[in-house]
Amino acid sequence: MMMTRLLLLWLLTLLSSACRADDPLVLQPQQLSPHVWFVQGQSALGSRENHNFISNAGIIVGPEGVVLVDALGSPELARALLAAVARLTDKPLRAVILTHYHADHVYGLQVLKAAGARILAQRQAGEYINSDTAAQRLKASIEQGLVEPGTRIVPPDQWIDGDTPLAIAGLQLQLIPVGPAHTPEDLAVWLAEDKLLFAGDLVFRGRVPFVGQADSRRWIASLDRLLTRPAAIVVPGHGPASTEARQDLLLTRDYLAYLRATMGRAARDMTPFDEAYAATDWSRYEQLPLFKAANRMNAYNTYLLMEHDAD
């Protein structure tokens, strides 16, 4: 009888652990270096089921407090992030540094600001924050159930205009504007003491990047700039952290360069897009997650960009 009870307890414990591991609102921070943890979003599109948990967030724990890098994609995820931080440390939350203002990285801001965080972002985000595009995207996210009613776009408390040393939480960070690239306001965060780089969505690891209407030429130049940092660890905006920094920076760089080469040639030759897309060899990238969801749109937007550049 005792053995049966112990076996039942063991099975219930395993089942409970498995449920917690599958619950996007129970975040599991992974330690990357002496001062840094991160939570990894799913390689998926945002949905009601995953609460828009499709991007990463960094947790920097210094002697005097906590700094977050990005705010995740919904207020409820931000509350889960605070709970995860509380399991790591009782030090106060000092700031949130935003790598850019895309929805999946910022819709948790109101929760973090209410918890006492100062918000920092690159100044070019101002145009997007006040745009109809941002308002319509938020409205659609609420209607689709990706975020709860009452979610709002929160502006930063401090604008970053150029390379900025930041002494905070007992650590020295370097904030590096690297846009316009993926967005006009791209911002990387460098923690030299840990040789760790938060690259934001300049790097998508283990999945096809979302290029949208990005300036891919400048994106490539920004990646070349980041490649000069002696990073041992790179935290991308999406996908697992990398201990092969150069290799993973180059994967995103090479994908963008391939889009520009293939679609640029088609635009110069005035080959119709559908014909050019079908004739392109995508074998190096077609096994990556979200290839079917993102690649055709990436190629089409690059085709239009290269068509414009050719004029």
Blockwise average pLDDT, block size 10, the chain, 311 residues:
41 39 79 98 88 96 98 97 97 98 97 98 96 96 95 97 97 96 95 97 84 87 91 93 85 92 96 97 92 94 85 52
- In a 10 Å sphere around its CB, with 0-12 CB exposed, 13-18 middle and 19+ buried, how is residue 158 labelled? middle
pLDDT attached to residue 14: 39
Amino acid identity of 167? A
**156 neighbors 125 (Cβ within 8 angstroms):** yes
Q: Which DSSP helix (H) or strand (E) runs through 188?
A: strand 187-191
C-alpha–C-alpha distance, residues 197 and 113, integer Å: 24
Task: Specify whether domain 23-245 bears CATH 3.40.630.40.
Answer: no
Q: What is the predicted pLDDT for the residue at 124?
A: 96
> Residue 117: what pLDDT?
98
The DSSP-derived string for 25-86 is TS---EE-SSSEEEE---SS---TTTTT--S-EEEEEETTEEEEE---SSHHHHHHHHHHHH
3-state secondary structure of 181: coil
Beta bridge partners of 164: 175
